[in-house]
A = this chain, B = another copy of it.
Amino acid sequence: MSPTTPRVTAVDTYDIRFPTSRELDGSDAMNPDPDYSAAYVVLRTDAADGHEGHGFTFTIGRGNDVQVAAIHSLRHHVVGRPVDELCADPGSLNRDLIGDSQLRWLGPEKGVMHMAIGAVVNAVWDLAAKRAAKPLWRLLADAEPEWLVSQVDFRYIADALTPERALELLRSGRRGAAERTADLLARGYPGYTTSPGWLGYSDDKLGRLAREAVAEGFTQIKLKVGADLDDDIRRCRTARRVIGPDIRMAIDANQRWNVGEAIEWTRALAEFDPYWIEEPTSPDDVLGHAAVRRAVGPVKVATGEHVQNRIVFKQLLQAGAIDILQIDAARVGGVNENLAILLLAAEFGVPVCPHAGGVGLCELVQHLSMFDYVALSGTTEDRVIEYVDHLHDHFVDPVVMAGGHYTAPTAPGFSATMRAESIAEFTFPDGGFWVRDRAGQHEPHTNGAAA
């Protein structure tokens, strides 16, 4: 390797926090006052192209510093690595990070350390896509099936999905990819909106936002439930009256219930025809979800935003515990592990409806669903990406919604790059917003408008 081989020169981290709790954006039965935050990482290189890789873990406030520390603890695996090799094979770094035996003890493959790995791995994919001058979904959809299989860690899932079977799925999945790419570019990928349904909103606001969602072209909305049954009945009735019988209405308990409670509460809301009940109980409870699913049909069971890794998703599928699999772009170990999860979903024939919202989760996860449509599952039927209308303006390449659909990104990368002004303003505790806030200069923070 020549002495001028471009290498990663820095792994810079930022503790970025938005004061969303002041508006009750994002409030639900378990999370009454989130301050949407990002433990943000930038990979810098000495390559002449000047590209950076951006990634992050989404958190909801306190503890964002712990997440930053975890990302920082991974830097020795990345700094000094040749950029060409890294971008040609992100799976190699992924394996090194997951295989760091000392750090592995802190998981394994779950929680703070695993999300840190996801942030770094996603930053590499962002860098790889920028260098390839493609949006990530297209980089993945254009890739050879053999290479995609090489990016997947089959440890602990080989009893459900072998590399050979994954290759078959990817080979058959790419048939017709050109037509689907054209369709995607023309019409986008269907979304649904959670913006009306936060628990902290009044019934009037709920009704108004639900009406607007339908007018905008969304065919599904979602309501948070689980704090008080009478409230939930009233809110579901309000929403159903506004949206009519043909718009899907999902409900989301954010892990509030025991198994028995989940069954009773969901049945009590069944008259409003909820499409799915999301996170009825602990995301760790595979058997519990299976019991709920057996009891609440035809209401579907959905989970995934807090499912820690491919191993738990594998079991949810093996146990027949879910109707809808909800990937999250920044909870598991990054794109590589989400490839494994998309492949598992395809193998079991379960539709993927990603979790999004937060900070930048919509920006990231759209790429995974679009790859899945173009080159794996080949369909958007019964598939929708969550959409929440906040904090997008902080991103350089924000999602663009049109008629309830995610417009396919065309800019190179993973849409992960946050605006430099936003980073400067909302870095905690020394960014401009937080300094002024502590000085008593309170200012309204609305959806992205503060940046």
Report A's interface with B, CB cutoff 8 A. 30-35, 59-63, 65-67, 69-70, 73, 100-115, 154-159, 255, 258-260, 281-288, 291, 306, 308-309, 311-312, 314-315, 318-319
A108 contacts across to B, CB distance below 8 A: 255, 282-283, 306
A314 contacts across to B, CB distance below 8 A: 285
Complex A-B: 17 CB contacts under 8 Å: A32-B101, A59-B102, A59-B105, A62-B73, A63-B102, A63-B105, A65-B73, A66-B70, A106-B111, A109-B282, A110-B111, A156-B284, A159-B258, A285-B311, A285-B315, A286-B286, A287-B318
Q: How would you classify the secondary structure of chain A's contact residues: helix, strand, loop or mixed?
A: loop
> Could you tell me if A66 and B66 are in contact, using CB atoms closer than 8 angstroms?
yes
Partner of A291, one of B30, B159, B291, B306: B159
A287 contacts across to B, CB distance below 8 A: 286, 315, 318-319
> Could you tell me if B63 and A258 are in contact, using CB atoms closer than 8 angstroms?
no
A260 contacts across to B, CB distance below 8 A: 158-159
Partner of A259, one of B73, B159, B281, B306: B159
18 other A-B residue contacts (CB within 8 Å) besides A106-B112, A155-B258, A159-B291: A31-B104, A35-B102, A59-B105, A62-B73, A63-B70, A63-B73, A70-B112, A109-B282, A111-B111, A111-B112, A111-B114, A112-B113, A154-B258, A159-B259, A159-B288, A282-B311, A285-B314, A286-B315
> Could you tell me if B156 and A282 are in contact, using CB atoms closer than 8 angstroms?
yes
Residue of B nearest to A116 (CB): B66
